[in-house]
Structure 1
């Protein structure tokens, strides 16, 4: 049986000055959410975009990370947004109400315009 930590891969890139894109691929649940939280907490760029295009499962622990990341960014004068959530991840954001709290964009192009 694979290690539960292997169900989420988190990568960070800086495509332009002042912008960080954190990409999550896999499942964000109680066991993997702390990894995402740590990755987001290390980002210091003024704009932080979390790419959820590759997320297949988003549990309550993941929602907590998103709400906290948004609150931390706002209190530090930064911009945080979620990009590309689809399928179950998108539905979880909408049903939970988190989509109303955390800026969400369908694509990176939309996030750049936002």
Structure 2
């Protein structure tokens, strides 16, 4: 089995993350709305991929996110949405499809989100009940399972 360092990284996760507040309350907006979406991938360890999405996650930016999430994925994936300024229904569909794929393939998926524009739609569509949501990336990394879940956890609706 090749080592984690032998795998080429597509891009490097270099975005800063805000320090936790006293109450870890959701921020109203991470920054002014951007007209585009940036995606960075970082293989944190052999079995963990962190995908950081920055900007507006809507119908114009969905193809880039789908491209990243359509490839071969490791057993554990964290989608860092801490710097997403807008989460549209198209972006939500991508998140729900990623959750469905992770469940069907026995992978663990976590989401990092701490802003109202992201948390509100996640809660309205109960995505936060199907996928664990963390306020900070370091917390998601620390609380992820130490090994992948068994593949027999798929749920038939």
What's the TM-score, normalizing by structure 1?
0.86
Unaligned 5+ segments in structure 1 are 1-5
**Aligned-pair CA distance for 1:102:** 2.2
Q: Are positions 1:71 and 2:109 aligned together? A: no
Q: Which among 86, 110, 113 is matched to residue 139 of structure 2?
A: 110
Unaligned 5+ segments in structure 2 are 1-34, 145-157
> 1:61 aligns to what?
90
Spell out, residue by residue over 1:31-64, the C-alpha distance to the aligned partner (whole angstroms, 9 max, x if none): 1112112112224111000000110000011111
Separation in structure 2 between the aligned mates of residue 110 and residue 83 of structure 1, nearest angstrom: 9
Q: Are positions 1:89 and 2:118 aligned together? A: yes
Larger mean CA deviation between 76-85 and 103-112 belongs to 103-112
> 2:74 aligns to what?
45
Q: Which has the higher helix share?
A: 1
Q: Which has the higher strand share?
A: 1
Larger Rg: 2
Separation in structure 1 between the aligned mates of residue 114 and residue 71 of structure 2, nearest angstrom: 22
SS in 1 for 2:121: helix
Alpha-carbon RMSD across the aligned residues, in angstroms, is 1.5
Separation in structure 2 between the aligned mates of residue 8 and residue 104 of structure 1, nearest angstrom: 21
> 2:149 aligns to what?
none
